[in-house]
């Protein structure tokens, strides 16, 4: 189904269908003090040009948006 898949350091954290309210995932595979890789994959099975907007995450109590 159309949605996003969240991956940190090669580990799939979860999937959220488009149109659902905000999701949350723990970053259990992130290494504190290291360079970590966060990948968000947009799955557009319907091929109707969907986009990800308003992506943000919490880091040390501060919201980081992009």
Strand 62-65 vs strand 38-43: parallel, antiparallel, or unpaired? Answer: unpaired
Q: Which range of residues forms the domain containing residue 7?
A: 3-65
| Euclidean distance between CA atoms 66 and 55, whole angstroms | 6
pTM of the model: 0.71
- Number of structural domains the chain divides into: 1
pLDDT on residue 57: 77
Q: Which range among 2-11, 20-29, 41-50, 56-65 shows the weakest confidence by mean pLDDT? A: 41-50
Q: What is the pLDDT of residues 19-51, one digit of tens each?
A: 777 777 888 899 989 999 999 888 877 777 777
State yes or no: pLDDT of 10 exceeds 90.
yes
Write phi, then psi, for 51 (nearest 5 degrees).
-135, 155
pLDDT on residue 11: 96
State yes or no: pLDDT of 55 exceeds 90.
no
């Amino acid at each position: 189904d159309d949605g996003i898949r969240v991956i940190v350091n090669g580990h799939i954290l979860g999937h959220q269908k488009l149109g659902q309210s905000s999701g949350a995932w723990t970053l259990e595979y992130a290494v504190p003090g290291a360079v970590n890789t966060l990948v968000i994959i947009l799955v557009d099975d319907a091929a109707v040009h969907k986009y990800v907007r308003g992506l943000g995450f919490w880091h040390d109590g501060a919201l980081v948006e992009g």
